[in-house]
Amino acid sequence: MKGQPSVFVMGTFNESLYQDFVCQDEAELYSKLQSTYDELVARKVTRVVYPKDSDSSKSRIRFKSRVCQQALLHRALYLFEGSLIALSAKNVYALALCVRGHYEGTAALGYLHKRIMSYIEGSITINDLDRDVYAHVLGSRDKKMAVADAPDPKTIMSQLDYADKVVYARLFHSQGNLKTVLRDGYEFLSEFAHPNFHSYSVAIHVDKRTDSFIFRYDHPLREEEFGLIGWLSISNPIFVELFDSVSQCIEKVQ
């Protein structure tokens, strides 16, 4: 078909998926998702080399920040792919979880950005930043599996709030009332991820003719369910913008 988007090598973007978007009148969304996915791929590396001047605390922080940045990119790539696979399988629960997980990674990247900028602006010390980056990568509440004396991780809701402030003020250069783009998306997706009303609506169709509930196995996705994939078109471009901004911030840690 002339003008049709190319097939992704691993099969995530393919003819069948494209036709699903066409049937939903969302061919433009398909192209946007493919484009923003390519932006992720363009930024991945296979290794980050430990610095030769490891005696320098600032050099170590730059190293750990790059590791954290690439680990979050790894997460974003696989959750993006998982979202499309779940969509193809018509698995709304998996779709909501994957897209919501992507928002968590975007929030974590925004929080990293916030802490590095706080150091650059003189609000925190180099030791504070070192501790924050360490906790960002190795923080865990599962003390059995974590490294010795692992710190507690920052809560995801706090990271979402930090990230929204960074996105609103630094990326969008906006003023006035804060727009909680990431937190709003995360909370909406959580309604499908948790066994709440939206989640139950995925399972049940009310048949008024027979006065019964029909459980929706092998049913096509409804418009609002298919629309969950569209939330990636918000989180992923923000992730890419944050990723590039974090790269610039890391170089300023001198």
In a domain, 50, yes or no: no
pLDDT in tens, 3-33: 344 334 445 788 899 999 999 999 999 999 9
In a domain, 39, yes or no: no
State which residues form the domain around 155: 55-251
- Kindly report which listed range (75-79, 98-102, 170-174) carries the lowest average pLDDT score: 170-174
In a domain, 49, yes or no: no
In a domain, 19, yes or no: no
pLDDT in tens, 144-182: 766 667 778 889 999 999 999 999 887 777 666 678 899
In a domain, 236, yes or no: yes
In a domain, 22, yes or no: no
In a domain, 221, yes or no: yes
In a domain, 144, yes or no: yes
Into how many domains does the chain fold?
A: 1
The Cα 212–Cα 196 span in angstroms is 20
pLDDT in tens, 120-132: 999 999 999 998 9
